[in-house]
């Protein structure tokens, strides 16, 4: 085969793959929220009060600064580590993969040290507003111990990447990316069993309401569970978790502490049930799969300059490339997440038919989480996995307008 | 006097990386996981080897090699965890790859059938002493509260006395488990002068790294130490 034919074949393959990728992405991007839905401008100050709004804005502004530090510091630290990290190779008596594991763990350890002042500052800020109850020493010791599981995770990743790289050379990503998707699937499946979920007691009415909503929506009811977080935070939250038989709805104990009315809790449950109804956890894995292939490919390309992933010398650069690429894709990941959350809000409105409760819930979220309901434009791009509270309240009003409420 | 078939070789220059000492318990986590997984198979192999030794009079060579690799690895992990040695160990228990290493007989020895039959009972006194002796060492080396930890973190070197104390605890533990796992039928010796070789490597040539990086920056050979004064 001539050089030009090979190039043409390569281009055709790339074109076919790109078209498949775009088609899959567009399928995942679709939601049941009406495309022509216009969200009205909401005067949040009229709903939460001006002083509450200013408090939330002040709180969120400083929190965003810590958030920016949390995005930029790892990039700076890992860029330096990519340049100088190979000096630690002398600290290893292990073979190439063992040395790669050690370099990866040391990279994360150095990152932990570098992030400590910023993390302590963030904790101080969250404690000041009563959002988090964790003590400073507790946080330092707790995150130090948590590094143990992070080390295990990174060692598994290095084992897969370097193992395949030693077998397949720079094409390791072709085998590595599917393995990462399978691991993502397994983690999502087992998460409910690892989260310390407790049975939901004293909320029989909520369980009945969930069964009612599930029947109306034509889905199977999912077990409601409680995550006991009362000793750590005051922030309310709930999450849909698991796949197939492991599906659960985890309600944080803070959302059941009496600050939210029964109709508001029904909206929360309907929202989480909507995630299961729309197979959002599967979609999340699909979305991850769409990105893990190109990211793994780009990492393989980048690390070639250090001899490829078969040698430990490339590991510091691998860490930097990995964190860098996931930071670059963060805005699109957040946008995808916001679409799924918006769809769950919409479905919850349809299911509960109670816009007043939904509106009251979102207003309460501003008060209990101190999140700015109208953040600057870059905030949701970088940090927004959910629509802003103003957008959520706007959706309620748009739904009311459509349904003559 | 150094007459025991199980000898701990210590070939270490006392220099320690403060960064890795600070994170040493966490950096050892993958090793402990691997040790636990490998240990499950070793348990089965030891059980089978017991029958072989009982009937044939000596352990099966493949079993012996497998168990010896595990024991060698376990001792290097212990040495790394307690910063009795500095470098991150490999995962295979390959001989000659670590500055603190247990030397075990390669060829299976002829063993007494009586001692083999009653091994699980005979090992108990030594096992209890080994377990009891490791706890004070663990306390001494424990992050934030141990003298050895502070001394190492401040000076960047482990004091020789602490290093030798930890090495001796590991040596005895190695001898106990080698006896328990039928590598030898020589009973463990609690004397610190038996089965301890300071400053002498098991294999003279260090295991070569397969990486270009290693070619650029070879690991500095550990300086041998003066043998202990009699």
In a domain, A82, yes or no: yes
Per-residue pLDDT, B173: 94
In a domain, A23, yes or no: no
CB A140 within 8 Å of CB A116: yes
Q: Are residues A323 and A253 in the same domain?
A: no
In a domain, B207, yes or no: no
Q: Last residue of some domain: A228, A251, A276?
A: A276
Q: Are residues A221 and A317 in the same domain?
A: no
In a domain, B57, yes or no: yes
Residue labelled with tokens 């309907």? A270
Q: Residue B88: give the domain boundaries.
A: 7-198
Burial of A86 (0-12, 13-18, 19+ CB in 10 A): buried
pLDDT tens column, A284-319: 999 999 999 999 999 999 999 999 999 999 999 999
Cβ contact B91–A95 (<8 Å): yes
Q: Are residues A64 and A144 in the same domain?
A: yes
Our CA angle for A258, A263, A267, nearest 5°, is 105
Q: Each residue of A149-174: b (16+ CB within 10 Å) or e?
A: ebbbebbbbbbbbbbbbbebeeebbe
In a domain, B113, yes or no: yes
Terminal C-alpha separation, chain A: 68
pLDDT surpassing 70 at residue B206: no
More confident residue, A4 or A156: A156
Beta bridge partners, A251, equal: A226, A238
Q: Are residues A124 and A222 in the same domain?
A: no
Contacts of B214 in chain A (CB under 8 A): 89
pTM, full prediction = 0.88
Q: Residue A66: give the domain boundaries.
A: 40-197+277-402
DSSP 8-state symbol, A259: S
Q: By the CB < 8 Å criterion, does B37 face chain A?
A: no
Q: Are residues A227 and A315 in the same domain?
A: no
pLDDT tens column, A5-52: 889 998 999 899 999 999 999 999 999 999 888 898 888 888 888 898
pLDDT tens column, B109-124: 899 999 999 999 999 9
For chain B, the domain total comes to 1
Q: Are residues A231 and A286 in the same domain?
A: no
In a domain, B124, yes or no: yes
In a domain, B93, yes or no: yes
In a domain, A24, yes or no: no
Residue A402: pLDDT band with limits 50, 70, 90 = confident
For chain A, the domain total comes to 2
Q: Are residues A133 and A179 in the same domain?
A: yes
The CATH number covering residue A258 comes to: 3.30.2010.10
pLDDT, mean of residues B40-61: 95
In a domain, B97, yes or no: yes
Which of A399, A397, A393 lies closest to A350 in space, CA to CA? A399
pLDDT tens column, A220-251: 999 999 999 988 999 999 999 999 999 999 99
- The whole-chain average pLDDT of chain A stands at 93
In a domain, B227, yes or no: no
In a domain, A15, yes or no: no
Selected residues 87-146 of chain A with any CB under 8 Å from a CB in chain B: 87, 89-99, 101-102, 105-106, 109-110, 144-145
In a domain, A165, yes or no: yes
Cβ contact B23–A106 (<8 Å): yes
Per-residue pLDDT, B208: 39
Strands (E), chain B: 7-10, 100-103, 196-198
Per-residue pLDDT, A36: 87
d(CA B152, CA B141): 9
Which of B28, B22, B2 lies closest to B200 in space, CA to CA? B2
Q: Are residues A178 and A305 in the same domain?
A: yes
Per-residue pLDDT, B217: 38
In a domain, B107, yes or no: yes
Q: By the CB < 8 Å criterion, does B142 face chain A?
A: no
HSE, side-chain direction, 13 A CA sphere, residue B29:
19
Residue B206 CB neighbour total at 10 angstroms: 17
Q: Are residues A202 and A242 in the same domain?
A: yes
pLDDT surpassing 60 at residue B213: no
CB A133 within 8 Å of CB A280: no
DSSP string, B94-113: -TTSSSEEEE--SSPPP--H
Per-residue pLDDT, A60: 93
pLDDT surpassing 50 at residue B226: no
Q: Are residues A103 and A173 in the same domain?
A: yes
More confident residue, A364 or A2: A364
pLDDT surpassing 50 at residue B218: no
Which strand ranges, in their side-by-side order, compose the sheet holding B7-10? B100-103, B7-10, B196-198
pLDDT tens column, A310-362: 999 999 999 999 999 999 999 999 999 999 999 999 999 999 999 999 999 99
More confident residue, A68 or A202: A68
Q: Are residues A138 and A218 in the same domain?
A: no
């Amino acid at each position: 085969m001539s050089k030009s034919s090979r190039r043409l074949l390569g281009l055709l393959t790339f074109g076919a793959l790109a078209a498949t990728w775009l088609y899959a992405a567009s399928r995942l991007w679709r939601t049941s929220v009406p495309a022509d839905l216009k969200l009205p401008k909401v005067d949040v100050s009229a709903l939460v009060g001006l002083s509450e709004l200013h408090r939330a804005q002040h709180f969120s502004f400083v929190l965003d600064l810590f958030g920016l530090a949390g995005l930029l510091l790892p990039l700076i630290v890992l860029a330096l580590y990519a340049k100088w990290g190979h000096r630690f190779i002398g600290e290893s008596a292990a073979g190439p993969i063992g040395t790669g594991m050690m370099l990866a763990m040391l990279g994360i350890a150095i990152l932990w040290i570098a992030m400590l002042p910023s993390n302590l500052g963030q904790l101080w800020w969250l404690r000041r507003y009563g959002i988090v109850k964790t003590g400073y020493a507790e946080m330092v010791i707790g995150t130090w111990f948590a590094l143990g599981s992070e080390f295990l995770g990174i060692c598994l990743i290095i084992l897969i990447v370097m193992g395949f790289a030693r077998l397949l050379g720079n094409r390791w990503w072709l085998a590595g990316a599917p393995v990462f998707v399978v691991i993502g699937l397994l983690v999502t499946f087992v998460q409910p069993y690892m989260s310390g979920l407790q049975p939901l007691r004293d909320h029989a009415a909520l369980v009945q309401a969930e069964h009612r909503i599930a029947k109306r929506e034509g889905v199977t009811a999912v077990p409601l569970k409680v995550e006991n977080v009362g000793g750590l935070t005051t922030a309310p939250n709930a999450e849909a978790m698991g796949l197939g038989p492991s599906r659960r709805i985890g309600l944080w104990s803070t959302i059941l502490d009496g600050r939210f009315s029964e109709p508001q809790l029904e909206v929360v449950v309907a929202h989480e049930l909507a995630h299961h109804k729309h197979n959002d956890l599967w979609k999340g894995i699909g979305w991850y799969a769409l990105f893990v292939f190109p990211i793994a490919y780009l990492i393989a390309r980048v690390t070639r300059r250090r001899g490829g992933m078969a040698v430990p010398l490339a590991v510091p650069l691998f860490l930097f490339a990995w964190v860098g690429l996931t930071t670059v894709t963060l805005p699109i990941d957040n946008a995808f997440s916001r679409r799924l959350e918006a769809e769950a809000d919409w479905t919850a409105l349809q299911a509960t038919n109670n816009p007043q409760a939904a509106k009251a819930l979102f207003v309460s979220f501003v008060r209990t989480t101190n999140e700015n309901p109208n953040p600057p434009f870059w905030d949701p791009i970088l940090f927004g996995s959910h629509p802003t509270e103003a957008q959520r309240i706007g959706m309620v009003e748009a739904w009311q307008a459509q349904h003559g409420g | 006097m150094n007459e025991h078939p199980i000898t701990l070789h210590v070939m270490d220059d006392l220099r320690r990386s403060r960064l890795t000492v600070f994170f040493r318990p966490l950096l050892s986590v993958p090793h402990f996981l691997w040790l636990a997984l490998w240990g499950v198979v070793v348990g089965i192999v030891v059980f089978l080897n017991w029958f072989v030794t009982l009937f044939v009079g000596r352990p099966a060579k493949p079993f012996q090699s497998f168990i010896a690799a595990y024991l060698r690895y376990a001792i290097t992990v212990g040495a790394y965890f307690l910063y009795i040695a500095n470098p991150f160990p490999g995962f295979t228990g390959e001989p000659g790859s670590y500055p603190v290493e247990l030397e075990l007989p390669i060829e299976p020895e002829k063993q007494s059938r009586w001692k083999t039959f009653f091994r699980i009972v005979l090992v108990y006194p030594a096992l209890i002493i080994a377990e009891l002796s490791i706890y004070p060492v663990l306390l001494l080396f424990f992050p934030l509260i141990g003298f050895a930890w502070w001394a190492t973190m401040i000076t960047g070197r482990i004091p020789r006395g602490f290093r030798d104390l930890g090495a001796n605890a590991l040596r005895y533990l190695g001898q106990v488990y080698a006896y328990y796992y039928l590598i030898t039928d020589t009973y463990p010796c609690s004397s610190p002068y038996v089965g301890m070789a300071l400053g002498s490597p098991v294999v003279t040539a260090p295991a070569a790294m397969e990486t270009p990086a290693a070619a650029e920056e070879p690991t500095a050979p550990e300086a041998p130490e003066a043998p202990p004064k009699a």
